[in-house]
Amino acid sequence: MNAKKVSNDSKTPRQDTYRVLNELFTLGLVEKLLIKPVEFRAIPLNDGLNLLLDRRNEATRELRNESLRIINSLNSIRLEESEEEHKLILISSRETILTETKKLLTAVQKSLCVLSPPQNFVPWVFAHQELFEEASRRKVKVRFITVRTKHDDLLKTLKITSKNTNYEIKLVPNAPEVSFGIYDKKSVIFELSAKEGFLKSQVIISDNPCLVELASLAFESVWNKPEKFIFEESRKKARTQLVGSQV
């Protein structure tokens, strides 16, 4: 139909109708019949959808190519950094936090020390169970500090980690007011809120030796207090509690 009839049927001002029809024509979704007055005809629905999908895919390919070009360009830049320059990164995105913690767990070779309340500690262990198993095969020495709780998830966590004698845990009577992990005594990740739960807090990641040492001193001061609960000494008790909770 012609633009006038489209305008009348759609109850749209004539100038808006012409503008939209010309935009659809430019997109290839509408054809013009060269008669007087000019009439417009929509292409078949399937053809229109395929056309839009092809254009979206092409735009995605162009975006991917541009992204690769930027990445390659950045990788070609070599910045000279002094030994005194260290990273201090603030992250708030849940996805980025998860990615960075996976990187740290994948790279750890010798030791991992974690002090955290159970609402952060338990989901974190379950979310990275495969990475912990890989760390176990690498003989990484892992020490956890968290609070005593009767929660079933903590018992399950004990069962998962107690499979390896390189894992030790200390259960303290009061929930820690901080949550952090130290990787190979080279990098540390701090959660800025110990009460918000897994991946809900902003975090700081750093390889600054002063911050790593500060976290290490805090961890060791708690670890060296009495009432240590070591897997090797309590494996049977944990298994008994698990069986009882399942019954």
**pLDDT for the residue numbered 158:** 57
- What span, in angstroms and rounded, lies between the C-alpha atoms of 174 and 146? 9
Q: How far is CA 204 from CA 83, 104, 171, 193, 196, in A?
A: 20, 13, 25, 11, 15
> Do 115 and 37 fall within a single domain?
no
Tens digit of pLDDT for each residue in 203-221? 999 999 999 999 999 999 9
> Do 107 and 210 fall within a single domain?
yes
* No. of helices (H) and no. of strands (E), the chain: 9, 9
Q: What is the CATH number of the domain that holds 36?
A: 1.10.10
> Do 63 and 124 fall within a single domain?
no
Continuous segment of H or E residues that includes residue 223? helix 209-223
> Do 62 and 95 fall within a single domain?
no
Phi-psi region for residue 68, left (φ > 0), alpha (ψ -120 to 50) or beta?
alpha
Residue 83 lies in a domain: no
> Do 123 and 23 fall within a single domain?
no
> Do 160 and 228 fall within a single domain?
yes
Question: Which one-letter DSSP state was computed for residue 89?
Answer: E
> Do 97 and 213 fall within a single domain?
yes
Is the model's pLDDT at 231 over the cut of 50? Answer: no
Q: Which domain holds residue 37?
A: 3-75
The predicted model gives 59-70 an average pLDDT of 91
More confident: 21 or 247: 21
Contact at 8 Å (CB) between 105 and 128? yes
Q: How confident is the model at residue 235 (pLDDT cuts 50, 70, 90)?
A: very low
Q: What is the CATH number of the domain that holds 96?
A: 3.30.870.10
> Do 104 and 133 fall within a single domain?
yes
Instruction: State residue 128 phi and psi, 5-degree precision.
Output: -120, 30
Is the model's pLDDT at 195 over the cut of 70? Answer: yes
